[in-house]
Amino acid sequence: MKKDTRLILALDVTSKEHALTLVKELQGYFDAVKIGYPLILSAGLDVVKETSAISPVIADLKVADIPNTNRLICQAVLGAGASGVIAQAFPGKDSLLACKENAADHGADLFVVTEMSHPGAELFMAPLAEKMARLAVEVDATGVVAPATRPNRIRLIRSIIGDRIIISPGVGAQGGSAIAALEAGADYLIVGRSIYGAKRPAESARMLLETLL
Ligand code: BMP
């Protein structure tokens, strides 16, 4: 994944037309697009294929099942053209390894969720985040997802994963600061609503990028 803008566009819109319009309009303002359940369930897997023709796509399916099912999920979305997939660590090492093996078969990236960005993540995920990060290293994941809403947690996770990639959601709509997340060690910011939900998405993306200069 190139690192020109350090921005990953979270494309949580629910129609293929809207999604592709945004991707074309915002080209140059992001390094990759993150597509998850809202768009895939509304528009079908074809949207991954069509978007991948324009930009690298990270499939945010937070894969969290037994190894065989994980493998089938990764196969479907990476086979459709995604160049990366996001998986949950909590189902364990064998489940994550199934994702890693399928990603490797496709020459794709695996990102592992450590601690999520919303307040509820404090209950179960935060106490286990360090273990999740260590597991990401054990399975040789490309990187992890860590919360821009808690820069101190990004710092901690960075200390565990070395120079693997940190992609970080929670900027803007969830209240996290882009600069604080990058200073804490995030490589990329994942940003959705504050760009695609803005009156002028390109203007909003441009302004965000300007604050990072
Ligand atoms: P927004 O900028 O609109 O809050 O979007 C953030 C995106 O990142 C959403 O797609 C959300 O599902 C995802 N995400 C998150 O917000 N926190 C996490 O911990 C992990 C995520 O994947």
For residue 1, being part of any structural domain is answered with no
Ligand 1, atom 1, lies closest to the CA of 192
The pLDDT of residue 112 is 98
Q: Is 62 exposed, middle or buried (0-12, 13-18, 19+ CB in 10 A)?
A: middle
Rounded-to-integer distance, Cα 70 and Cα 56, Å? 21
What pLDDT digit, counting tens, does each position of 135-154 carry?
Answer: 999 999 999 999 999 999 99
Is residue 158 domain-resident?
yes
**Residue 32 is assigned to a structural domain of this protein:** yes
Tokens representing 34?
């993150």
| Distance between first and last Cα of the chain | 20
Q: For residues 113 and 81, is the Cβ–Cβ distance under 8 A?
A: no
Q: Per-residue pLDDT tens for 121-134? A: 999 999 999 999 99
Q: What's 138's domain CATH number?
A: 3.20.20.70
Report whether pLDDT(13) > 90: yes
Please state the atom number of ligand 1 nearest to the C-alpha of residue 147. Answer: 19
> How would DSSP label each residue in 67-110?
HHHHHHHHHHHHHTT-SEEEEESTT-HHHHHHHHHHHHHTT-EE
**What average pLDDT does range 99-113 have in this prediction?**
98
The pLDDT, as a whole number, for residue 100 is 98
Residue 81 lies in a domain: yes
Distance 194 CA to ligand 1 centre (A): 11
Q: Whose CA is nearest to atom 21 of ligand 1?
A: 169
12 C-alpha to ligand 1 centroid (Å):
9
Does 62 qualify as catalytic in the annotation? yes
Distance CA 184, CA 151 (A): 6
Q: Tens digits of per-residue pLDDT, 39-83?
A: 999 999 999 999 999 999 999 999 999 999 999 999 999 999 999
Could you tell me the pLDDT band of residue 213, with boundaries at 50, 70 and 90?
confident
Mean pLDDT, residues 111-115 taken together? 98
In terms of DSSP H, where are the helices of 140-188?
151-161, 178-184
Q: What range defines the domain where residue 152 resides?
A: 7-212
pLDDT at site 123: 96
Q: What is the mean pLDDT of residues 73-94?
A: 98
How does residue 91 score in pLDDT terms, banded at 50, 70 and 90? Answer: very high
Q: Which residue has the tokens 């985040």?
A: 129
Pocket lining for ligand 1, CB < 6 angstroms: 10, 12, 36, 60, 116-117, 145, 147, 169-170, 172-174, 190-194
What is the percentage of the chain residues whose pLDDT exceeds 70? 100
Q: Whole-prediction pTM value?
A: 0.98
Name the residue of 7, 30, 114, 117 whose CB sits within 8 Å of the most ligand 1 atoms, as the mutation to test its pocket.
Answer: 117
Tokens (6 digits) for 146? 């860590």
Between the CA of 59 and the centroid of ligand 1 the distance, in Å, is: 12
Amino acid sitting at position 186: A
- The count of structural domains within the chain is 1
Ligand 1 mean position, distance from CA 39 (Å): 13
Atom of ligand 1 nearest to the CA of 38: 10
Q: What is the pLDDT, as a whole number, of residue 181?
A: 98
Helix, strand and coil in the chain, % to nearest 5: 50, 20, 35
Atom of ligand 1 at shortest range from CA of 60 = 22
Which residue in 62, 93, 100, 131 is the catalytic one? Answer: 62
Query: In this structure, is residue 94 part of a structural domain?
Result: yes
Residue type present at position 173:
A
* Domain-located, residue 63: yes
Q: Over the chain, what is the mean pLDDT? A: 97
Mean pLDDT for the stretch of residues 8-25: 98
